[in-house]
Amino acid sequence: MFEYFIKYIVALLMGLVLIGLLGEVLGSYLFIYSVLFLFVFALFPPKYFISSNSIIHGYYFIFFIIAPMYADIHSQDDFSTFKYKIAYGMIFLTHVTAVFGASVGEGVLKNLQNSGEGRDSLAGLRIKINILYALSTSAVFLIIFNSGGLSYWMEAPGDAFLNRAGSGLYVVASHFFTFILSALVGFYAYKKKSKLSLLIFVLWLLITSPVHGSKQLIAIFFLLAVLPWIRDLKFFQIKTIFYTVILLAIFALGLYFRNISWMTVDGFLPYALNYFTALRNLMILLEDFDPNFMQTFFLPFNKFLSPIGIKDLNIYYDMNHMLTDKYFPWAWEIRATEQWPVEADLYLNFYFIFGLPLIFVYTFIVGYIYGLARFRSNLGLWVVSFLMLLSITSHLRGSLYNHVDFYLYPMYFVIYLTLRKYRL
């Protein structure tokens, strides 16, 4: 672990030199961060296609390098200003701390051999899968019929998805059953070498995707189904390109269905790039707010007021809700939220710098569970680790924790108990 600490210190020193001392000389802080990104990537390279570091690097590359370079919302930005120095300094510190924590977590068990817990038995698995199809599909229909009806969903799936109030219990049930369904279909298809089983699931996922709505959630369902094939896929491998293209297609499909009423082919690319608003929103925050302590940290606990009948629309459940309502009220009217990055969360609650240890702890835990999955190799651990890995971006582009974690983490534990007897 000492080697990771040395790399972390070296990266911090490089950041201090390029951003802190030479920033005015080098000019664009977007360019400086791009150089630092390559440096951090070289120090903490991801070994596998889906691992904590690959996802962290991917997030910071897309949101803070690609989007600022090409999105319309940044076309007039001057990246040499002092505010961008502060913003990219925060972004760099969070990025390098996150990959440092994940690397230490993954490395704890890296020298131990796979223990191969679980068993290969497929007895009764086909029946269980059919039951899960029925439960997942039923949950989807209950969401539809409790949020406008089938005709509404067919006419305006984007609006229907954003206005699902009253169907929350069915949404949670849909997630739970589909997580397990995805994993078991993939496990069955892998063990039985049944491409048809996997194809049927992909078709089902395409049909129900407007109801799932979230592009990230659809990607998670797909990745869980192909988990047995990609769990050992190296980052620098040709197949990685294939799966990356599929994930980009899922992202495009999600955008299209959510905006089907107006989106054209010509308008797709600019809109897609403008989707990544984390940097713009961080700049807004730095302009209008001073660093603070515990300003929004406890907002997720307001969610517990809903079950006892308090439905005050002015009560926010996290930082994203509060800031979206303040700056983008037209979005909050339909309960859509903007992307306020975790740097904003740390800025408002820990004067930023004092929140970095929490970033380390969070990514360490995620990395450790991923390393444990590689060591134990049972399906339950693999599924939970993948779910936590793929939710990293949700926390990096929002609060360090949010109200959905209150039911997601217990759900993950139940999923682990349900699937731990199967061995990959």
d(CA 337, CA 349): 20
Rounded to whole angstroms, the Cα distance separating 343 from 351 reads 10
344, 281 contact by CB (below 8 A): yes
Q: Is 269 left (phi over 0), alpha (psi -120 to 50) or beta?
A: alpha
CB 343 within 8 Å of CB 350: no
CA distance 384 to 67: 30
Helix (H), strand (E) at residue 347 = helix 342-349
**Separation between Cα atoms, residue 280 and residue 87, nearest integer Å:** 10
Tracing tokens 């979005």 back to the chain, one arrives at 331
Question: What pLDDT, on a 0 to 100 scale, did the predictor assign at position 57?
Answer: 96
Q: Give the model's pLDDT for residue 268.
A: 62
Give the Cα separation of 424 and 410 in Å (integer). 23
3-state secondary structure of 43: helix
CA distance 285 to 275: 18
- Alpha carbon dihedral 37, 40, 42, 47, in 10-degree steps, equals -100
Tokens of 212: 């799932």
Predicted local confidence at residue 258, as pLDDT:
57
Tokens at 291, concatenated: 């660093």
Written as six digits, the tokens of 148 are 């406008």
Exposure string of 151-180, with b = 16+ CB inside 10 Å and e = fewer, is eebeebbbebbbbbeebeebbebbbbbbbb
SS3 152: helix
Q: How many angstroms separate the CA atoms of 293 and 304, rounded?
A: 23
Q: Is 252 exposed, middle or buried (0-12, 13-18, 19+ CB in 10 A)?
A: middle
Q: What is the pLDDT along the chain (424 residues), one digit of tens a residue?
A: 789 999 999 999 999 999 988 888 888 999 999 999 999 999 999 988 889 999 999 999 999 999 999 888 888 899 999 999 999 999 999 999 999 999 999 988 776 655 555 555 677 888 999 999 999 999 888 888 877 667 666 666 666 666 665 566 888 888 899 999 999 999 999 998 888 999 999 999 988 887 776 677 888 898 899 999 888 888 877 777 777 777 677 666 666 665 555 455 555 665 677 888 999 999 999 999 999 999 999 999 888 876 654 555 568 888 998 999 999 988 888 777 889 999 999 999 999 999 999 999 999 999 999 999 988 888 999 999 999 998 899 899 989 998 889 989 999 999 999 999 888 8
Q: Tokens at residue 269, please?
A: 């690319």
Tokens of 208: 């129900």
- What residues are paired with 350 via a beta bridge? 293
Angle between helices 29-43 and 52-61 (to 10 degrees): 170
Q: How high is the pLDDT of residue 163?
A: 62
Say what the pTM is. Answer: 0.87
Number of neighbouring beta carbons within 10 Å of residue 339: 20
Other CB atoms within a 10 A radius of the CB of residue 219 amount to 18
Chain centroid offset of residue 135 CA: 25
Place of tokens 């700049």: 283
Select from 236, 198, 202 the least CA-distant residue to 219: 202
Partners of 293 in beta bridges? 350
- How many other C-beta atoms can be found within 10 angstroms of the C-beta atom of residue 201? 25
Backbone CA torsion sign across 420, 54, 96, 356:
negative
